[in-house]
Chains A and B, each alone.
Chain A
Amino acid sequence: MEAPPDPAPLAAVPPAPLRAPAVARLRQEQEKVVAGCRERIQHWQRVDDDYSALQERLGTLPDKLSYDIMVPFGPFAFMPGKLVHTNEVTVLLGDNWFAKCSAKQAVGLAEHRKGHVRKTIDDLKKVMTNFESRVEFTEDLQKMSDAAGDIVDIREEIKSDFEFKAKHRIAHKPHSKPKAAGASEAGFASVEPKDLLADQELWARLEELERQEEQLGELESQPPPVMANGGDAASSEEEEEDAGRCVNGRVNGTHPAAEPAAPSCRPSDDPGVEGFRGPSCTVNGARSPLSDEDEDEDGDDDDALGPGASCVPTIYFSHTVEPKRVRINTGKNTTLKFSEKREEARRKRRNGGGCHPAPEPPAIRSPADVYRVFVDLVDGAYVPRKSILKSRSRENSVCSDTSEGSAADGEERRGLLRSLSGEEAAGSDAGESIPEEEPEPEPEAFSGTVTEKELPPCLAPHPAAAHPVLATIPERREAPSEGSEVTKRVSKFKAARLLQRS
């Protein structure tokens, strides 16, 4: 065996990928233990038999006054003689102490010793069976590592921040400090909860995080995952909505663990991005379909065909907790990021909530960005807008409209419509300019729109020209003739009915 002189026969399988020599050695050691146990059991079995024979002899010994025996003379010689005082037995108690007792008492003593012996035998048998099962398992392991075809080793690397999180769940005590755990990725260790009590600081931090997120998002063209901010007791409630409770499971977990204690859950952007990218790239780069969701990295399946180190394909599994965000599945690669919208909203709020455009125009490069930018305010909560391409069964009882023109229009219109909330006015205005393709199709062409309640007469001519088949999506648009006034909404069912009637 080429094994190094490791002494532990109980060595567990090394954390590295399965290696045939290591597994073989483990098996050997385990078999050694089993053999040793077997020998010892045999020995103790013999001892037990000896005691039984002794008991038998002692039982019959007092029957006669004397016995003819061959008295041993030294190791090899014997002399015929007699055994007398057959009832007097001197028993060795250990440490050169003897006890003189009768034959019966000696029998009792022997029985007592037999009990001990049996106990020892039982223990050894247990150990033996235990190790026999381990040997079986190791055999299976060996077969597994040999037959590297179908069997895949799945590993989940546990990040320290998981434990960190668990330890740091403190109740909502205003002055309780979270325990500082070494170089934690959460990075809140150094920040006192007191500081975060203040709303403004909280907002500031959130904004910072979101800004970083955005930057990373732009760099990576993927929404980057958000780090866990462990143990902020005070801020937990508020942060819960955003970033407080999202845990990021990194693929391969080789992200630089020692992130600075600065209140950012991300290290410096570029290196961080690279660092983040690096491991993912090594893993066959198979991240794209699944891991484009920002937080939804549940079970990233990366078939890391072990780079020569092991013959077993390995899946590195990361467990993530879905953040409590509003998130809708708007398509393959889009996940609405709550935080960004929130940041926007806040920003606008800070700017005075006027109708002036946002300081920085949202960089919209993909349909996903559109959804990110446009937010609805529903009952005081920020709700991402649902794609008009998706059938909104709740809102509209009709099927989707898939025409591009109307899609663009839809967004624009919705942007107009939602200018109710001052916060979004800016955003929508800003965004409006971008998807401004055709403000409206021809009045007679299908618009697939439903207009608000007050416009039933207006509605009538439109759908008349429209295709009856397609006159299905009543989208909340304002009629072109009306301009950008806000009108009362009509219930979708009513709208549908109106449409169908006309």
Chain B
Amino acid sequence: MEGPAREARPEDGAGPAAGREDLSSRIKEQKIVVDELSNLKKNRKVYRQQQNSNIFFLADRTEMLSESKNLLDELKREYQEMENSEKTKIKK
């Protein structure tokens, strides 16, 4: 019974460089989450941590997997957008 901790982190309002780093680290974490979730055996229970506290609620594995994947895609998209905007800025 593993309970991968999963936190939702707010986005930072930091500068572009810091934001970019932060985003990239978040993307890495999310990738790990997705990999772990997809690598679970069928009988495993997945728990989800309540924000800011130590309580873990039972959650559905498949649901969690899909959720994590979505989140990862979102983060990647954001990262791409940020890179594009920076490139356009540099060009200007």
What would 18 more interface pairs be, CB under 8 Å, given A45-B10, A53-B8, A78-B56?
A41-B13, A42-B10, A45-B13, A46-B10, A49-B8, A50-B51, A50-B52, A53-B51, A54-B50, A54-B51, A57-B57, A68-B57, A69-B55, A69-B58, A70-B3, A70-B47, A70-B56, A80-B1
Our pick among A38, A57, A71, A78 for the contact of B50 (Cβ within 8 Å) is A57
- Answer yes or no: A36 CB below 8 A from chain B CBs: no
Complex interface residues of chain A between 31 and 72 (CB less than 8 A to chain B):
38, 41-42, 45-46, 49-50, 53-54, 57, 67-72
Q: Given A50-B52, A67-B57, A72-B55, are A42 and B3 neighbors across the interface (CB < 8 Å)?
A: no
Q: Nearest residue in A to B49 (C-beta to C-beta)?
A: A70
For A80, the chain B residues whose CB sits under 8 A away are 1
Complex interface residues of chain B between 40 and 54 (CB less than 8 A to chain A):
45, 47, 50-52, 54
A379 to nearest B CB, angstroms? 74
**Bound complex: CA A80 to CA B57 (Å):** 10
Q: Is the interface of B mostly helix, strand, loop or mixed?
A: loop
**Bound complex: CA A68 to CA B52 (Å):** 19
A interface list, Cβ under 8 A from B: 38, 41-42, 45-46, 49-50, 53-54, 57, 67-72, 78, 80, 83
A406 to nearest B CB, angstroms? 75
A180 to nearest B CB, angstroms? 58
A196 to nearest B CB, angstroms? 69
**Bound complex: CA A50 to CA B49 (Å):** 12
Q: Given A49-B8, A54-B51, are A67 and B58 neighbors across the interface (CB < 8 Å)?
A: yes
The 3 closest A-B CB pairs, nearest first, are A70-B56, A53-B51, A72-B54
Our pick among A42, A49, A69 for the contact of B56 (Cβ within 8 Å) is A69
For A54, the chain B residues whose CB sits under 8 A away are 50-52
For A49, the chain B residues whose CB sits under 8 A away are 8, 10, 51
A7 to nearest B CB, angstroms? 27
B22 to nearest A CB, angstroms? 11
The interface bits of chain B over 1-17 (1 if a CB of A lies within 8 angstroms of the residue's CB, else 0) are 10100001010111000
For A53, the chain B residues whose CB sits under 8 A away are 8, 50-52
B7 to nearest A CB, angstroms? 10
The answer on a CB contact under 8 Å between A69 and B51 is no
